[in-house]
Amino acid sequence: MKYVRQFLIILFISLMGEILKYFLPLPIPASIYGMVLMFAALKSGIIKLASVKETAHFLIDIMPIMFIPAGVGLMDSVGTLKSILIPVFVITVVTNITVMGVTGRVAQAMRKGADAHE
């Protein structure tokens, strides 16, 4: 029963996310609204951590396999990408490196700065 109840709570919050998406005209997906709602519910004590924990960790644990179908979908998009394949590839690789480098270095530098002040 524990897992049924936990799964129900998670699905209910996902549904609330869908409802918000339906009424708000922003390009923000139901999952992000749901994430915010779940966080707010935990923080305010409406939902106890113990009443979602195990199922949540299970879902997060198996998250990588949820991306396999989308990745396999690349076999169909190679055709449409053909004309700009090389620029797209270069942009994807370069942006990955610059974004990771900048985000990580800025965060790390600010963390070190904060520690130095303490």
Partner 1 sequence: MNDFFQNSLFAGVTLSLLSYILGMMLKKRFKIALFNPLLISIAVTIAVLLVAKVDYSAYNAGAKNLSWFMTPATVCLAIPLYEQWELLKKNYKAVLLSLLAGTLTSVFTILLLSMLFKLNHTEFVTLLPKSITTAIGMGVSEELGGYVTITVAVIVMTGILGNVFGELICRLFRITDPIAKGLSLGASAHAIGTAKAMEIGEVEGAMSGLAIAVSGVLTVIVAPFVAKLL
* Region 60-79 residues binding partner 1, contact defined as CB under 8 A: 60-77
Write the CB contacts of 110 (distance below 8 Å, at least 6 apart in sequence). Answer: none
User: What are the start-end ranges of the E strands in 16-86?
Assistant: none
Per CB under 8 A, 4 contacts partner 1:
no
Provide the minimum distance between the beta carbon of 40 and partner 1 in the complex, in angstroms, as a whole number: 9
User: Which residues, 7 to 46, sit near partner 1 by CB under 8 A?
Assistant: 10-11, 13-14, 17-18, 26-32, 34-39, 42-43
Write the CB contacts of 57 (distance below 8 Å, at least 6 apart in sequence). Answer: none
Please tell me the count of residues contacting partner 1 according to CB under 8 A: 73
> According to CB under 8 A, which one of 4, 24, 49, 116 is a site residue for partner 1?
49
Spatial separation of the C-alpha atoms in residues 17 and 39, rounded to whole Å: 12
Per CB under 8 A, 2 contacts partner 1:
no
C-beta of residue 6 within 8 angstroms of C-beta of residue 54: yes
User: Which residues, 83 to 102, sit near partner 1 by CB under 8 A?
Assistant: 84, 87-88, 90-102
Spatial separation of the C-alpha atoms in residues 47 and 34, rounded to whole Å: 13
